[in-house]
Structure 1
């Protein structure tokens, strides 16, 4: 059965854990994914790259230096080379020996545990090989197609995958406010829109929902000991809290995304809604 990402009309908002439960586990690893599931969320955002030997792996950066004991670029390393690096110990010693996940394994885990995955394509080059690898994988695991939305800043790239798998749902990122926002999104064949507070307008959110689209609001990570809403107030000079709660209560947000799951759950419950 396909995963339902869009439940705002039922009074349910998905607490979408960013890179897994990455505020307490190493991001984009199985410990983070399992921690998110144990914390009561059913939707996770992950990032994927293609290795030098055409394996799709889950990690955010183009370089592995920040999150692992290794060095170099994912696209220039083979999967076997990546396996020699530890992707957990830099976060905490208790996560030592954590390895970079294969997308195939994460897809199987999601299906087995009834989890939804927002899969962000980070690929910069070798687009033909990336598309071929992802299409082949999804054709091999057809039950996983209904559990994912393929996300991208590169709308052209993700549409190349959809052209071969028409049932694949796309989620597009919007980091501007276009003259006709809805038309721009619809031209990218999206079923869901990812937006940030800085570029959001209630008229666009209402237009998305009227057109039958889903929405995901990304809240930035904690910086300088300020949570996302505090950051917005520091940046713009006013309190965004009541505005965002109003969007939630109006049913304009299907998914709320952040690193800290209790923070997400708290906002959703404060709006008087159920979270999953």
Structure 2
């Protein structure tokens, strides 16, 4: 993989710098009231206090790490359930036409319902709290994994399948040495989309009754009029989500290289 040059990295900072400049100018001389958007200085104080907790700048002083760990664990659980079920069903429906005809119409219909539409149903089934949050994350993250895996599995060239069979690969060996490696790029796309969706629906779930988590703090901050802490939580989610995506890409690329090497050795 080609590393980013210094020029590429600089270009990536242009828009954030422009946003900071506009933010700074718009909050000078009370052009925008602090209860609507805090100034960069006020935000920085609250943000660092949210992380380190030595300034008592808000009621959430030093509470970031504990709540972020709780939220990350929820995302991990929901993402795991969505990833496993999405890949299994995606490969099955992608390779077995009969299963695709049976399952795909129903799954596509369920996908058309907005995720927030499942919130009342989840509250009836699981109550308000942890289980409902995991339900929303798993359901929303399932669809991108399923669709991309199905697309990748259905597009494996038939010549690859015939070549694998000629070399003696059958059933599960054929799947792990031919089908899965050929579809893996699509699977990665589905997993990355699902991870982003997981963080989005984490906030929705945590805003509906859990006592701890980044989303719960966002809801509490909104109700108490702390726009600064809402923005701080948004920044924390953005940074953590980007970091999780980076880890996922690194793991998938490492696994993908090993997968291709194993497939070559089998051949």
The alignment's TM-score, normalised by the length of structure 1, stands at 0.24
Q: Which structure has greater helix proportion?
A: 2
Q: TM-score, normalised by structure 2?
A: 0.24
The structure having more radius of gyration, on CA atoms, is 2
